[in-house]
Amino acid sequence: PVVRAEVSQETATRVSSMTIPSLQKAWYYEEYGSAKDVLKFGEVPVPEVQPDQVLIKVHAAALNPVDFKRRLGKFKASDSPLPTVPGYDVSGVIVKVGSKVTSFKEGDSVYADVSEHALDGPKQWGSIAQYTAVEEKLLGLMPKNLSFAEAASLPLAIETALEGLERANLKEGQTILVLAGAGGVGSLAVQIAKHVFGASLVAATASTSKLELLKQLGADIAIDYTKQKYEDLPERYDVVFDAVGECEKAVKVVKEGGSVVALTGAVTPPGFRFVVTSKGESLSKLKPYLESGKIKPVIDPKGPFGFDSVIDAFTYLETGRATGKVVIAPI
């Protein structure tokens, strides 16, 4: 049995190293442009695992607007070199750990936003691929109750929602307005404001068909921006979370001394904008809320999109009408 055990460990090692190919299938682009013009599906190298990284066999990924803004060259000044495999959000299983990794092991189901800094040197080899390498400090252990598709839908958006609410200094019992409450970030910001921060009143904006979803997510007031201008309503808020780029209007409805946090677009004082930093500790902090069901992933019902339908997925996301997240699964 000892020999068999040694053989099986040796075989397992050989098999595990054999199961990690040097080339993989992925979506990539070699020049900036539109999805249909520049996105290609083909073979790219499997990234080398650095000492502080793990290699993930990807099961699902999700798209974010930063993926298409980057692909259009909007952040080329601080981008990593081309060719680029897009994708920040990933879920999957660890198949190799770097020599300095201490908190994760082969076989763990994990998820992450793979780029610590979304605009400043994001990963060249992203998540819309069969394998991707991610630093240990960006990883979270997947909540036990979530599918790979549900987990992949979360990292960048939920970390943005959490960081934005923390930066806005939202306090228990305060009131908040979330602009674009049905979007990828907004759908999580509504939930976190209500169920994690304990806001006394959460208002949110969306178009007519999405108002019921806002209520289901925990919004006390759902404002149909196609019929009502929130800036003309009497309500004033301690915090306004702007996920649309309407800071000039947002500052009109914040209380004296309140905060207006913007994700995009020009800012009008006292509004401020930030860029999300990927942190595994944020996923750990939210894990109990996800496992209890207090916070739920929202996946656009047009998806998940298959690994062969990434151009369709981008085309849909770029309409600006997504409800929750656009997910690519299975990979």
Ligand X SMILES: NC(=O)C1=CN([C@@H]2O[C@H](COP(=O)(O)OP(=O)(O)OC[C@H]3O[C@@H](n4cnc5c(N)ncnc54)[C@H](OP(=O)(O)O)[C@@H]3O)[C@@H](O)[C@H]2O)C=CC1
Pick the closer one to ligand 2XX by CB: 88 or 131.
88
Q: Distance of CA 45 to CAs 26, 123, 152, 262, 285, Å?
A: 9, 14, 22, 37, 34
Residue 276 lies near ligand 2XX (rule: CB under 6 A): yes
Using the rule CB under 6 A, give the single segment among 18-26, 30-38, 61-69, 78-86 that binds ligand 2XX: 61-69
Q: Which of 118, 188, 283, 327 binds ligand 2XX (CB under 6 A)?
A: 118
Smallest separation, CB 38 to ligand 2XX (Å): 19
According to DSSP H, which parts of the chain are helical? Answer: 2-18, 35-38, 65-71, 148-152, 155-167, 186-195, 211-217, 247-250, 280-292, 310-317
Q: Which of 193, 276, 283, 331 binds ligand X (CB under 6 A)?
A: 276
Task: Report the 10 Å Cβ neighbour count for 10.
Answer: 10
- Whether the CB-CB separation of 231 and 253 falls below 8 Å is answered with yes
Residue 264 lies near ligand 2XX (rule: CB under 6 A): yes
Residue 119, binding choice from ligand 2XX, ligand X, none, Cβ under 5 to 8 Å by partner class: ligand 2XX
Using the rule CB under 6 A, give the single segment among 15-23, 42-50, 104-112, 313-321 that binds ligand X: 313-321
Residue 214, binding choice from ligand X, ligand 2XX, none, Cβ under 5 to 8 Å by partner class: none
Rounded CA gap, 180 and 47, in Å? Answer: 36
Stretch 76-135 residues interacting with ligand X (CB under 6 A): 118
> Of all residues in the chain, what percent are helix, strand and coil, respectively (each to 5)?
30, 25, 40
Find all residues with CB under 8 Å of 82, minimum gap 6, and list them.
29, 30, 31, 32
Tell me which residues touch ligand X (CB under 6 A).
64-66, 118, 157, 160, 179-180, 182-186, 205-207, 210, 225, 243-244, 263-264, 274-276, 317, 320-323
